[in-house]
Amino acid sequence: MTKISQAKELGLSSEEYKKINLQLGRKPNITELGIFSAMWSEHCSYKSTKKWLKTLPTSAPWVIQGPGENAGVIDLGDGLAAVFKMESHNHPSFIEPYQGAATGVGGIMRDIFTMGARPIANLNCLRFGSPKHSKTRHLLSGVVSGIGGYGNSIGVPTIGGECTFDEGYNGNILVNAMTVGIVNKNNIFYAKAGSPNSPLVYVGAKTGRDGIHGASMASSSFNKDSENKRPTVQVGDPFTEKLLLEACLELMSTKCIIGIQDMGAAGLTSSSVEMAAKDGKGIFIDLDKVPVREENMTPFEIMLSESQERMLMVIHPGSEKKAAQIFKKWELDFNIIGKVTDTKNIVLKSNNKIVANIPIEPLANGLIYDRAHKKIQYSLDKIRINTKNNWKSSLTKLLNEPDLTSKEWIWEQYDHMVMGDTIGFPGSESGVIRIHGSNKAIAVTTDCTPRYCANNAELGACQAVVESYRNLCAVGSKPLAITDCLNFGNPENPHVMRQIIDSIKGISLACKALSMPVVAGNVSLYNETEGESIPPTPQIGAVGIIKDVNKYVSNFPSEPNNQNIILIGDTKGHLSCSIYAQKIENINKGTPPPIELKKELKYGIFIQELCSEEFITSCRDLSDGGLGIALTELCLMSKIGCRIESQNSNIIAWLFGEDQSRYIITCTDINLNNIIEKARNKNISAEVIGRLVGKNFEVTEQSKKTDKISIDKLENIRNNWFKDYISIIN
H or E element, residue 39 = helix 30-39
Query: What is the rounded CA–CA span in Å between residue 112 and residue 84?
Result: 6
The stretches of 89-207 forming alpha helices (DSSP H) are 90-95, 97-113, 136-154
| Burial class of residue 14, CB neighbours in 10 A (0-12, 13-18, 19+) | exposed
- 591: how many CB neighbours lie within 10 A of its CB? 18
Query: What is the rounded CA–CA span in Å between residue 430 and residue 407?
Result: 14
Q: How far is CA 264 from the centre of its chain?
A: 17
Query: What is the rounded CA–CA span in Å between residue 523 and residue 373?
Result: 18
Q: How far is CA 131 from the centre of its chain?
A: 23
Question: Catalytic annotation on 316?
Answer: no
Secondary structure (3-state) at 608: helix
Query: What is the rounded CA–CA span in Å between residue 36 and residue 31?
Result: 9
The answer to whether 92 and 214 have CB atoms below 8 angstroms apart is yes
Active-site pick, 43, 91, 213, 416: 43
- What single-letter DSSP state applies at residue 393? H
Query: What is the rounded CA–CA span in Å between residue 671 and residue 613?
Result: 10
The answer to whether 664 and 631 have CB atoms below 8 angstroms apart is yes
Question: Catalytic annotation on 436?
Answer: no
Query: What is the rounded CA–CA span in Å between residue 130 and residue 165?
Result: 6
Secondary structure (3-state) at 606: helix
The torsion angle over the Cα atoms of residues 271, 273, 277 and 278, rounded to 10 degrees, is 10
Q: How far is CA 153 from the centre of its chain?
A: 21
Query: Please, what is the angle between helix 494-514 and helix 597-612, to 10°?
Result: 50
φ and ψ at residue 203, rounded to 5 degrees: -135, 155
Query: What is the rounded CA–CA span in Å between residue 299 and residue 351?
Result: 10
The answer to whether 707 and 654 have CB atoms below 8 angstroms apart is no
The answer to whether 179 and 110 have CB atoms below 8 angstroms apart is no
> Which among 595, 629, 722 is positioned nearest to 164, based on CA atoms?
722
Query: Please, what is the angle between helix 391-399 and helix 626-638, to 10°?
Result: 70
Beta strands (DSSP E) in 282-332 are 282-286, 310-315
- Ramachandran category for residue 138: left, alpha or beta (phi over 0 → left; psi -120 to 50 → alpha): alpha
The answer to whether 443 and 158 have CB atoms below 8 angstroms apart is no
Catalytic residues: 43, 89
